[in-house]
Structure 1
């Protein structure tokens, strides 16, 4: 473990040195084409280290394998004119998959998008930039319930003071050939307070996915990604006509503090069989030790913008729980505690460290690993 921590520290030092040299916001990653039109390249690089302990099986073997590798190598080409249109093409070279690929138009009637992008149910997955998530990975219920990216069209409207409305329709296919049905989705957000350093967010999301293959599967990793192992997993559910998802969102930004939580539920409707119900929630709090306040825009919480030459520090604590036991389906139950420390070196570089204490019970096999995780991130 010490050697891997040293390897991660060496990588971090390699990132920090250029980060602290020069103006980090002057990188030439875009060019002006004239008439207010810009073209450019956006990138997100994340290198992770995962270390597992307390994961011994009854036969003496370890359930998890330690790992360190790239988590994401995403690049997006875009052409845009602020307030008029955006064209984006993105690919993740680590997972060999297409990410956001769409055409967006801004009108007085709202923003319209056509292409592939995230479905809205699941606040951190569907409506928060991957580079701005507080913890290294999304919570248990987010992983289980969020549908992922799909090809479709959506409408996004903020013309009513304090309100945000979003409606989307997604087709049977996506660019990675993973989708298996049509989805109708919507989101409503109310902001009774929205000022710099003081925000109240209340949200409601829902979707209905009509399954073509009449199957479904609900599962989650223990809040790290460099492992294929899931401690909770329903296995393949048969006879699924549709998957219904619902979410309740709430957050409060108060100066250097952020409190955020979300309740998520999912039902697999199976005519002639017993329906399956999954549910879970997370709640977390953060404190910017250096005094900065989180940003907020279009229903999403942003990261910290450092106000000191050496960056910004943030302490975070999360509790998450997921229940996949219902009737004859014993997918298991899990709850995790995650302690996180984030160092925002500047607007492009971030280092993260998480300690996760996972508690699971699936059938007659309780497994409660402790996980140490680190990440070095570059985004531009």
Structure 2
């Protein structure tokens, strides 16, 4: 009974310390529910530990009186807690219950109880830790949980005489060495899309000579297997991707080396996704719609995007986020026909959260990127800006500038997001510039394109999207009542809407050829979308999207309409851990 009372006291003291240290922004309903769920899990764990301790016989040491397991655990629990406190900032993790005070009763109760309390501590979300990876989707979340598992094992200290342990944080298989200094984890991200395009009658004037879109099809949009290896404050991320646009051509999403000398600072080198724009910073697991707005995809293709060679750092705090990277080409862009030098550029992002409360979050930011030198190929030094109509089942790109001879290109734009309880509104405006290469007497003026979007989310079941301080963007939804036939839970339901526009026309006049002005008929695309998302559990999501797409585009002579109007309907099944 005394041991049982000691464990209860340790539990209450640990939870009390964590609640006192939590930032004000984390005091919302979702965080309280998470703490209650963790309380139940900790109670079950402590019950198991009590049974183990009660069944363990006393082991006398040579030359010393016999000690009980409880007597040995008390002095040994304090030193590991101090070790965890000293290592927490370097590991990039949240402060533990021992970070602001003397050893807690949980540590005094034994290393197992301290390890359990630390492993159950909430991470991420509003006021959460910086992620342990330079990416948001796939390996970023795996890295975060690997870091948590490593810190938990470190707390064990002298009690970690064994070879290590295997845990499953958020469903991710994670191995942690006995001393907690090394950890390895593997995750998965599967996104499978089916759907098609419903066109107007082919006889309508705005469909002459345009591609016939796929009426029904499928695509493995993402099939990533992130592997994360960590030793002290150095981390290696390797993520192959067996999906794509289209699928069937496996590639590399990330291969990066990350160093975290301070909790808020992460230095990264390799192939990865540099932070850029709000739409880009949002994890692909947490999109409101199946795809990013087209203007975001076009902007990130200039000097950032997935699998980009880059070197730089990001600093992530509770209220602000800053990142900057020097960038090169994309993975796989090298070839024997490519002349030197390759593309060089840079990307930066600054974001802040001036309001962070239980019911409110306000996000403001600014980002930009610059290609100092456009990559050269056998066809010359060109840049092409284009995108599909915000769905990747058909691979036709209806808006495209074609190859533009260019010395450089850049983009920049402000970003905004506002959350009120279970309602979220966010958007961006992006301006794109291309510096055309001069050639003879042909007109080659500098070109300017623009676009933007606004999207909203309303969670019908009342859950709120949490804010990720590690990425400066909003995360997905964790259902209060996961779907269960036995318990009657339905999961979470989210209604979303979006309007996006991008204009790739510049320096042109209807009825006059683009060559005469040096401009581009790239087309103007508008998309109005509605969607319904269902979250049966934290790791599973189903998305149903409808988009109405209007593309206004003339041929290079400026005389014939080659755009079209159509609807898109698509369903995505997503599993991620």
User: Which TM-score band applies after superposition, normalised by the shorter structure?
Assistant: 0.7 to 0.9
* Partner SS state of residue 225, structure 2: strand
Q: Is 1:167 aligned to 2:330, yes or no?
A: no
* Partner SS state of residue 243, structure 2: coil
User: Is the contact between residue 287 and residue 315 of structure 1 (CA under 8 Å) also seen in structure 2?
Assistant: yes
Unaligned runs of 5+ in 1: 1-23
Residues 268-302 of structure 1, C-alpha deviations (whole Å, 9 max, x = no match): 11243211111100001100000001011120210
Higher share in helix? 2
Shift of 1:316: 0.3
Aligned equivalent of 1:74, options 224, 239, 246: 224
Unaligned runs of 5+ in 2: 1-167, 245-249, 336-341, 439-443, 484-490, 508-518, 555-560
Whole-angstrom distance in 2 between the partners of 1:197 and 1:42: 32
Aligned equivalent of 1:145, options 296, 299, 302: 299
Q: Please give the TM-score of this superposition, normalised by the length of structure 1.
A: 0.87
Shift of 1:188: 0.6
Q: Please give the TM-score of this superposition, normalised by the length of structure 2.
A: 0.58
Residues 230-255 of structure 1, C-alpha deviations (whole Å, 9 max, x = no match): 221111112x0111111211101111
Aligned equivalent of 1:200, options 354, 358, 362: 362
* Partner SS state of residue 462, structure 2: coil
| Larger RCO of the pair (alpha carbons < 8 Å, separation 6+) | 1
* Partner SS state of residue 343, structure 1: strand
Whole-angstrom distance in 1 between the partners of 2:171 and 2:258: 25
Shift of 1:325: 0.5
Q: Is 1:325 aligned to 2:488, yes or no?
A: no
Shift of 1:206: 1.1
Q: Is 1:257 aligned to 2:402, yes or no?
A: no
Q: Which has the larger radius of gyration?
A: 2
Equivalent residue, structure 2, for 1:17 = none
Whole-angstrom distance in 1 between the partners of 2:408 and 2:524: 23
Whole-angstrom distance in 1 between the partners of 2:450 and 2:201: 28
* Partner SS state of residue 309, structure 1: coil
* Partner SS state of residue 295, structure 2: helix
User: Is the contact between residue 209 and residue 562 of structure 2 (CA under 8 Å) also seen in structure 1?
Assistant: no
User: Is the contact between residue 340 and residue 354 of structure 1 (CA under 8 Å) also seen in structure 2?
Assistant: yes
User: Is the contact between residue 143 and residue 221 of structure 1 (CA under 8 Å) also seen in structure 2?
Assistant: no
Whole-angstrom distance in 1 between the partners of 2:314 and 2:357: 21
Whole-angstrom distance in 2 between the partners of 1:200 and 1:100: 31
Aligned equivalent of 1:158, options 316, 332, 340: 316
Residues 131-180 of structure 1, C-alpha deviations (whole Å, 9 max, x = no match): 11111011121122112231111211135x63211111113x33322695
Aligned equivalent of 1:211, options 374, 392, 405: 374
Aligned equivalent of 2:286, options 102, 121, 132: 132
What is the root-mean-square deviation in Å for CA atoms of aligned residues? 2.1
Shift of 1:265: 1.5
**Residues 77-116 of structure 1: pairs in structure 2 closer than 5 A:** 77-80=227-230, 84-95=233-244, 96-108=250-262, 110-116=265-271
After TM superposition, the structure 1 stretch with the greater mean CA deviation from structure 2, 25-34 or 202-211, is 25-34
**Would you say how many aligned residue pairs link Structure 1 and Structure 2?**
352
* Partner SS state of residue 204, structure 1: strand
Higher share in strand? 1
Shift of 1:323: 0.3
Shift of 1:33: 2.2
